[in-house]
Every structure is written in structure tokens, then in C-alpha cells.
Amino acid sequence: MEQFQKALVTAVPARQTLTWIPDMAFLREQKIRFAVPWIPSKTAPDGTKFGQTYINSDKAVAAGLRYRPMTETIRDALAWWQTLPAERREKNKFPIPPEVEAAALKAWHAKEG
């Protein structure tokens, strides 16, 4: 996720500050549950790890999958997104309201203070 965020900052230059909050208990206390992390790693009862971070792409790479720079993918995805009708884009707003995000950041910085 950190590599993705850094690529995002590079691909879409804007005034922004990234704050890493690696404390899931803190995020739950701030009522941030479903957006961070997007798809958390999980462990099955038998100890097998699964989730987005454990997807093995070896077969796809062997079959010809080639990765391209994240910044290129981000720019292309944004260009595609901007071609969609406004009403379609409105349906997919970020799930954390700005005031909840601001309160969580304030509390985190106070905690780290």
C-alpha cells in the first residue's frame, strides 16, 4: 500500500500529506473500519494466509502477464474515470466523510505528539 500511495502522489501531483496509521485498534476507535486497509490479509483456521496481499501471480506471469509502472496505471485509470458520466462518478465517493478523516488525523497526531 505504501508503494501505491507514493506512486499515486507521483502520478497525480497535488498538494497532499500522507499520514500512515498502522494501528488498526485506533482506526476502529475512530470508526474507520471498511476503507483501511482495502482488503486486509487474513488467516484461515488452518494457518493459510489469504487476501489481496497473498495473491500469487506466478502462473499469469508465466503465461505472459507483464507489469507496467504503477504511475502509468494510475494515470490511465484516472483518465478513464474522468470519461464516465458525473452521476456514475458520484455513486463512488470515498467512504470516509471528510469530517471523520479530519478528526481521526487530529487524534492520531495528538497521540503521536
Encode pLDDT of 7-46 as tens digits: 988 898 888 888 888 888 898 899 887 665 555 567 778 8
Task: Name 31's bridge partners.
Answer: none
What pLDDT shows up at residue 59? 94
Q: Total structural domains in the chain?
A: 1
Predicted pLDDT of residue 84: 94
**Does pTM top 0.85 for this prediction?**
no
Is 32 part of any domain?
yes
The answer to whether residue 97 is domain-embedded is: yes
Coil, helix or strand for 68?
Answer: coil
Query: In the prediction, which pLDDT does 40 show?
Result: 59
- Nearest-angstrom CA–CA distance, 35 and 78: 19
- The single-letter DSSP state of residue 46 is T
Write out pLDDT tens, residues 42-96: 777 887 776 666 778 899 999 999 999 999 999 999 999 999 999 998 887 777 8
Note down the domain range covering 15. Answer: 2-38+68-112
pLDDT of residue 47: 79
Other Cβ atoms closer than 10 A to 4: 12
- 92: in domain: yes
* 58 is a domain residue: no
